């Protein structure tokens, strides 16, 4: 797999920081124009967080064109909304799972990225609007994603697409990895997984969890504890392979592209996932963005374009 324009050593690409990224971080405003990101304490706080992300999506995302279609499919607890981005003559399908800390977010938050990836890689994309915690804690989101994956694989097969990928960012990367493992148990395969700054170990004991504490960079150890406490009900084993993919057997997981920023609390998750995947016989590629925090494309859209370009190249290499 080639990665032109990037410094590559074997299976790792290191992407230099941009001046725009440094200026955004050094401005002191962080994300959302200086809004202090902290763990919600009440349901009202949770709703406020959801509204913030929805407003962000409305402000930054493009108007959907005729190739963007909404559908509903049968799920384990009612219909699951699906956002489709249809390519004109696709070479593959891709299941996308959005981020948002397991408690917020929607497919529309990633619409610009999905449109770019669909055009650049020539893939049709289905993005899952899964149930959110705390109203619907584990395993609701994973059950919805599993159901959507089974449906989308069948849809792709009916369209004559023999290859289907899975991709997600942040919470969506975790759900993508968990869904990949669930489908492996059903002898269903994805051609590859694109896992962007994901959490893969809910025990929250990894050193990188505290790397940006106190810097208001959208993610820190307190937020990570909130995610775990909100998504996982009391009594759920946080070391379970279904909960923490790093603790699962990763044999036959398949090719993967992992992307993470150097200042991301989930940095160690991606490094360890990459090493585990290779150790268990998979192809894995790791892209590290220097000096970049979680959700790096929100501070510098150029980094998001780099990520899409690598994802498209990864898809092409797996076909």
Q: Which CATH class is domain 7-318?
A: alpha beta
Residue-wise pLDDT tens digits, 236-263: 999 999 999 999 999 999 999 999 999 9
pLDDT confidence of residue 12: 85
**Residue 34: its pLDDT value, please?**
55
Over residues 122-148, mean pLDDT: 98
How much is the pLDDT for 14? 86
Q: Give the containing element (helix H, strand E) for 193.
A: strand 192-196
pLDDT greater than 50 at residue 229: yes
pLDDT tens for each residue of 95-130: 999 999 999 999 998 999 999 999 999 999 999 999
**Please, are residues 178 and 232 in contact by the beta-carbon 8 Å criterion?**
no
What share of the chain has pLDDT > 90, as a percent?
Answer: 75
In this prediction, residue 215 carries a pLDDT of 83
pLDDT score of 37 more than 80:
no
The pLDDT score that the predictor gives to residue 3 is: 44
Q: Does residue 20 register a pLDDT over 80?
A: yes
Which of these ranges, 49-53, 196-200, 205-209, 219-223, has the smallest mean pLDDT? Answer: 49-53
| Mean pLDDT of the residues in the chain | 91
pLDDT at 310 over 80: yes
Let me know: does 207 contact 268? Beta carbons within 8 Å: yes
Q: What is the pLDDT of residue 57?
A: 73
What's the confidence (pLDDT) of residue 296? 87
Mean pLDDT within 265-286: 96
pLDDT band at 140 (very low <50, low <70, confident <90, very high): very high
Q: How far is Cα 32 from Cα 133, in angstroms, rounded to an integer?
A: 23
Answer yes or no: is pLDDT of 205 > 70. yes
Per residue in 192-220, is it b (16+ CB within 10 Å) or e — as a string?
bbbbbbbbbbbebebebbebbeeebbbbb
Distance from chain centroid for Cα 51:
20
| 260-270 tens-digit pLDDT | 999 999 999 99
Q: According to the model, what pLDDT value does residue 219 have?
A: 87
Quick: pLDDT tens for 55-91.
Answer: 877 776 777 788 999 999 999 999 999 999 999 999 9
Maximum C-alpha span of the chain: 51
Closest CA to 230 of 266, 208, 204, 252: 204
Structure confidence at residue 17 as a pLDDT band (50, 70, 90): confident
């Amino acid at each position: 797999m080639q990665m032109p324009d990037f410094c590559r050593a074997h299976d790792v690409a290191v992407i230099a920081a941009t001046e725009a990224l440094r200026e955004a971080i050094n401005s002191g405003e962080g994300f959302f124009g200086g809004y202090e990101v902290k763990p919600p304490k009440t349901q009202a706080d949770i709703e406020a967080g959801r509204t913030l992300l929805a407003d962000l999506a409305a402000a930054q995302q493009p108007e959907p064109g005729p190739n963007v279609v909404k559908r509903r499919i049968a799920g384990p607890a009612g219909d699951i909304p699906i956002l489709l981005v249809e390519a004109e003559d696709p070479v593959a399908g891709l299941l996308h799972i959005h981020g948002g800390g397991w408690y917020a977010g929607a497919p529309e938050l990633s619409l610009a990225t999905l449109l770019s990836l669909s055009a650049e890689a020539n893939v049709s994309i289905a993005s899952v609007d899964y149930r959110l915690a705390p109203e619907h804690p584990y395993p609701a989101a994973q059950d919805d994603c599993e159901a959507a994956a089974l449906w989308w694989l069948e849809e792709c097969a009916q369209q004559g697409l023999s290859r289907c990928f899975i991709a997600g960012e942040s919470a969506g990367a975790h759900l993508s990895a968990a869904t990949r493992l669930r489908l492996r148990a059903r002898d269903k395969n994805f051609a590859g997984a694109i896992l962007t700054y994901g959490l893969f170990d809910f025990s929250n004991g990894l050193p990188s969890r505290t790397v940006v504490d106190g810097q208001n960079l959208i993610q820190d150890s307190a937020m990570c504890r909130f995610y775990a406490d909100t998504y996982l009900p009391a009594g759920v084993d946080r070391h379970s392979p279904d909960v923490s993919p790093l603790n699962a057997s990763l044999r036959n997981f398949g090719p993967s592209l992992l992307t993470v920023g150097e200042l991301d609390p989930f940095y160690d998750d991606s490094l360890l996932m990459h090493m585990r995947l290779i150790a268990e016989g998979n192809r894995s590629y790791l892209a590290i963005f220097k000096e970049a925090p979680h959700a790096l494309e929100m501070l510098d859209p150029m980094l998001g374009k780099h990520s899409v370009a690598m994802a498209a190249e990864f898809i092409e290499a797996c076909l």
